[in-house]
Amino acid sequence: MWAKKGVEKPNVILITLDTTRADHLGCYGDSDARTPAIDGLARRGVLFAQAASPAPLTLPSHCSIMTGFYPTYHGVRLNGTTALSQGQTTLAESLAQRGYQTGAFIGAFVLDGRWGLNQGFGTYDDRFDMNKFKHLDLAAVQRPANQVMDAALQWLDGHKDGPFFAWVHLYDAHSPYEPPEPIRSEFIARGPAGLYDGEIAFADRQVDRCLSWLRTAGLDGRTIVVIVGDHGEGLGSHGEGTHGFFIYDYVLHVPFIVATPFEALQGVRVESQVSLVDVFPTVLALAGIDSKARVHGRSLVPLMFHQPEAKTVYAYSESMPPELQFGWSALQSLRSPGYKYIQAPRPELYDLAADPGEATNVFAAHRAVAADMARELKRVIADTSRGAPDPEAANLDKDTLERLASLGYVGTSRPALRRPTRRSRSPIPRTSSTSSRPCSGPAS
């Protein structure tokens, strides 16, 4: 593919936007958003309109992005408890094996290298000053996007000859919402949701710095840029202030944009259901790498070139904190552009086309659809967990371990983390249409 354009081993930049809802970006329909850099990238690239996150938590979701596997296989179901196994093959490892220089630049401690995502990176910039945090909270230990981008651009300046793979993680949209001035003053009148949008606007400015660097360096014509969100944010919807418990679309529907030098891939919008597990095989395919790895995701290149799919494809998602941390029931779902089915003590089905806010549970009115999706969900869980290796304990020093344990992050047995089986009481009292209890646990 790339050989025809005279581009061998194209550079790859992956930018992950933590806690970023698709519907709070201009290119996904928010007319009030101030995201010109991301919107511009979407106009000159491919926008996937129906991308789903596999989990509403940072570490499990990023493990899926980097391996192409759902959490049912890679085994990282929570933040802070287990690390990605050394037996897993990451996107960075796959590219490094083919001569790519690899660097990662991390915005939050929840993705510190001790949790396994540093595999394959020659540089893994996860420097956080832990001493200044008297009370350790995974969600609180972070650095702003401008500092992360400073480190990334410095590294890129030293690797212009390529080929390179750079991963840049921007955490700013995560609570607490504290955008810097003058953005804060511009958005504060909109309330808490406005400050959330301000954080996204600040992250967008850092994305613009990266894109500007590519143009100045003359590398925009030989670089693939991928922007994805790892999960979204509740902002009060369904009673959830942040994220980490429920699996409604405010946390699962995420941005997914791919820009390449191909003229044929400019201004493309793909409506098919895709997942973050598709990032791994798609990047390898665009880089011209014929990977033999069997992963849960699939290359999206055919969809990018408007090739129709022969069958309906679903995206799997899960929320395990209710079960593993509180002894309630896990939540697992399948999503298509038409319907979402949520397996819970009281099953839920939503018509996403007619009810994007998932306000009305239509399970009773569409029992046949629900039954089909329930059977498919059972099959997906069984198939994707088959042969899953045990997750590994994170490499934590005694002080960090004790501080995390005090917050309830660690202490769950390792087998339970891989295959939760308990079905106990529901995490919330559910009505026939919506949920009302707010999220009340650690989220990242």
How far apart CA 108 and CA 172 sit, in angstroms, is 9
Q: In the chain, what is the greatest distance between 2 CA atoms, to the nearest angstrom?
A: 60
Q: Which of 139, 147, 150 has the alpha carbon at shortest distance from 173?
A: 139
Are 203 and 145 a contacting pair, CB within 8 Å? yes
Q: How far is CA 127 from the centre of its chain?
A: 21
3-state secondary structure 19-30: CCCHHHCHHHCC
- What integer pLDDT is reported at residue 55 of this predicted model? 97
Please enumerate, as own/partner, the contacts of 354-361 that have beta carbons within 8 Å and a separation of 24 or more.
356/249, 357/237, 357/249, 358/238, 358/248, 358/249, 358/434, 359/433, 359/434, 360/433, 360/434, 361/432, 361/433, 361/434
Give residue 250's region: left, alpha or beta (phi > 0; psi -120 to 50). Answer: alpha
Copy the structure tokens of residue 410. Answer: 């660690």
Q: Which of 70, 66, 122 has the alpha carbon at shortest distance from 96?
A: 122
Helix H or strand E segment including 335 = strand 331-335
How far apart CA 265 and CA 433 sit, in angstroms, is 40
Spatial CB neighbours of 408, under 8 Å, sequence gap ≥ 6: 325, 441, 442
Question: So where are the chain's domains?
Answer: 10-304, 315-418
Q: What is the mean pLDDT of each run of 10 residues along the chain (444 residues)?
A: 64 98 98 97 97 96 98 92 91 97 95 93 87 59 92 97 96 93 94 93 98 97 97 92 92 97 93 98 95 91 92 94 86 96 96 96 97 97 91 66 49 38 39 32 49
The CA–CA distances, whole Å, from 366 to 19, 77, 249, 272, 338 equal 32, 31, 20, 22, 12
Are 83 and 395 a contacting pair, CB within 8 Å? yes
In CATH terms, the fold of domain 315-418 is: Arylsulfatase, C-terminal domain (3.30.1120)
Which three-class secondary structure state does DSSP give residue 339?
Answer: strand
The CA–CA distances, whole Å, from 197 to 49, 145, 317 equal 20, 14, 25
Q: Which residues of 409-425 are buried (b: 16+ CB within 10 A; e: fewer)?
A: bbebeeeebbebeeeee
Spatial CB neighbours of 137, under 8 Å, sequence gap ≥ 6: 407, 442
How far apart CA 107 and CA 126 sit, in angstroms, is 7
- What integer pLDDT is reported at residue 117 of this predicted model? 96
**Beta-bridge mates of residue 331:** 319
Spatial CB neighbours of 13, under 8 Å, sequence gap ≥ 6: 165, 166, 167, 168, 210, 214, 223, 224, 225, 226
Copy the structure tokens of residue 295. Answer: 């992963």
- What integer pLDDT is reported at residue 420 of this predicted model? 45
CATH annotation of 10-304: 3.40.720.10
